């Protein structure tokens, strides 16, 4: 139990285009979902926190107009990288907090490469 999926697992896009990444909790309801970014050999960096039906809360330095988050249901959150640039290339990981608990489960990650 407690499986989180992400789609796609990797994506290559051209500079200036937008990319959407989906995060789904497959066998539990997620009160809160989190989006992280990780550069090679570095720690996870929290980008934003979202609750179902509410606007996401972004960490300092993260552009909310560039990284659009939608949390439409208790099992689905999406991250859209708008007008992507090469510096947005990174590994994006979502996590989901299981309703009624403090436990967070992570997706397998999405590798984004912007050319």
Residue from 26, 111, 113, 115 that binds another protein (CB under 8 A)? 111
Residue from 28, 71, 81, 107 that binds another protein (CB under 8 A)? 107
What is the three-class DSSP state of 35?
Answer: strand
Q: Rg of the chain over CA atoms, in angstroms?
A: 13
Q: Does 51 bind another protein (CB under 8 A)?
A: yes
Whether the CB-CB separation of 104 and 96 falls below 8 Å is answered with yes
| Smaller CB separation from another protein, 16 or 103 | 103
Q: Does 46 bind another protein (CB under 8 A)?
A: yes
Residue from 14, 60, 87, 102 that binds another protein (CB under 8 A)? 102
Beta strands at 76-81 and 67-73: parallel, antiparallel or unpaired: antiparallel
């Amino acid at each position: 139990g407690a499986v989180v999926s992400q789609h796609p697992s990797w994506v290559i896009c051209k500079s200036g285009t937008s990319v959407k990444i989906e995060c789904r909790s497959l066998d539990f309801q997620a009160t809160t979902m989190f989006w992280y970014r990780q550069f090679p050999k570095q720690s996870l960096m929290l980008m934003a926190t979202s609750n179902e039906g509410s606007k996401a809360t972004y960490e300092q330095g993260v552009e909310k107009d560039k990284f659009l988050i939608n949390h439409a249901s208790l099992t689905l959150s999406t991250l859209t990288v708008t007008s992507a640039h090469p510096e947005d290339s990174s590994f994006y990981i979502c996590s989901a907090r299981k309703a009624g608990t403090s436990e967070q489960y992570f997706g397998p990650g999405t590798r984004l490469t912007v050319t």
